Amino acid sequence: MPRIAFVSCVRIPYKDAFDRNPPCVLDASEFEQPVWAHLLEQHLKTPFDAMLFLGDQVYTDYGQFHGGGNRPLKKNWSPDLFHRLLYTMYSAQYTKVAAFRHLMQQLHEDGVQIGMIWDDHDFGYNNGSGMELKFRNKLGSTKVLFEQFLNTVIQMPSAYPAIPAIPAMTPTQGIERIHNPITLEEDVEIVLLDGRFYRDVQVGGGASLLGPQWSHLKEKLESLPQGRLMIVCLGSPYSQTSQSWASNGSPYANYDEFTALAGAKHILFLTGDIHKNKLIPQQGFTEVISSGAHLPPRFFDDIRMPSNQHCFGLLDIDDTHVDVKLVTNNRVEISQTISRATGMLS
């Protein structure tokens, strides 16, 4: 019976979130991230077959809230400054957060498959879009630094690699080809999608979200054998927010086609991003959201983004059902069962 763990949204805050002189200073008090110890405890009890990171592995908040302040937003920064900041965040997550490294080492030793996709913050800035012209000269940095972090996590060297040179060329495709689909046993397939690289600046209204990935996803869905479970992973949710595929009722391209196929094939849609655990029945399939792997104190303590929160999700899959557990602060907050025959709660 395959077991899958998944997380998204890991914040390391800054000592002064509005310091005017970049680069920022990381807050060493926040290198303790309890979620990784909780996940290690779960793995040692019942081993994972796959560990999925569903976006915002790091949270580059610096410059995000400065629409009327004295600093420019990150998308207006020089490529060199942007490059150095993103590298600082990734390398700090690996070198400074001991519990994260211990978990990764154990998963590596046990042969657990690791999947990782980016969302807006490891892409560069809040609600970042690859099709935004002001951001095009930073796409190379975004891609090479994300790949460096992913490869480091998979290979687990003793030291984090040195900062790479800024690529001379703008990449022509996203990260979707970094990962082949992950297959668990013979009847469970995990598809990892890039929802940022091809995303248009405009929101919804048939704008691009997946770009050329859609044709590959559609082909996979149409040819999916009966009884085989496909878990579709995207950094952004399927529904409910302006950054979701549904885009608050003005959907991105292929939303209707995907909805019909996902419902007919009873897939499982797995994501993060909205900063709280949620399980949402759709038409013939279920959307599962686990978010806020590390939302430390002093962040927005409201219903949208509660602070001091540490979340992860677990899927236990058998021939007929998927048992879903969404955990907050090491306590099971949501526990439900999804029927593989219908894709719905049972």
Q: Is 155 exposed, middle or buried (0-12, 13-18, 19+ CB in 10 A)?
A: exposed
One-letter amino acid for residue 276 of the chain:
K
Which DSSP string corresponds to 266-311?
Answer: T-EEEE--SSS-EEEE-SSSEEEE---TBB-TTS--SSSS-SSB-E
What CATH number belongs to 3-339?
Answer: 3.60.21.70
Q: Is 320 exposed, middle or buried (0-12, 13-18, 19+ CB in 10 A)?
A: exposed
> What are the start-end ranges of the H helices in the chain?
34-45, 79-96, 98-109, 120-123, 139-155, 213-222, 255-265
Q: Which two tokens stand for residue 159?
A: 């030291």
Query: Can the peptide bond before residue 23 be classed as cis, meaning omega within 30 degrees of 0?
Result: yes
Domain ranges for the chain, please list them: 3-339
Confidence of residue 63 (pLDDT cuts 50, 70, 90): very low
**N-to-C CA span, the chain:** 18
Confidence of residue 14 (pLDDT cuts 50, 70, 90): low
Q: Which residue has the higher pLDDT, 42 or 89?
A: 42
Q: Which residue has the higher pLDDT, 166 or 202?
A: 166
**pLDDT surpasses 60 at 70:** no
Of the ranges 15-29, 48-62, 227-241, which one carries the lowest mean pLDDT score?
A: 15-29
As a whole number of angstroms, the distance between CA 342 and CA 324 comes to: 15
**pLDDT surpasses 90 at 308:** no
SS3 65: coil
Find which of 63-72, 199-208, 297-306, 326-335 is predicted with most confidence, using mean pLDDT.
Answer: 326-335
How far is CA 122 from each of CA 13, 83, 145, 174, 268, rounded to the nearest angstrom? 14, 12, 9, 13, 24
- For residue range 88-104, list pLDDT tens digits in order: 889 989 999 999 999 99
pLDDT score recorded for residue 304: 60
pTM of the model: 0.93
pLDDT score recorded for residue 19: 44
Return mean pLDDT, the chain.
Answer: 88
pLDDT score recorded for residue 20: 46
Confidence of residue 113 (pLDDT cuts 50, 70, 90): very high
DSSP-derived secondary structure letter, 54: E
DSSP-derived secondary structure letter, 154: H
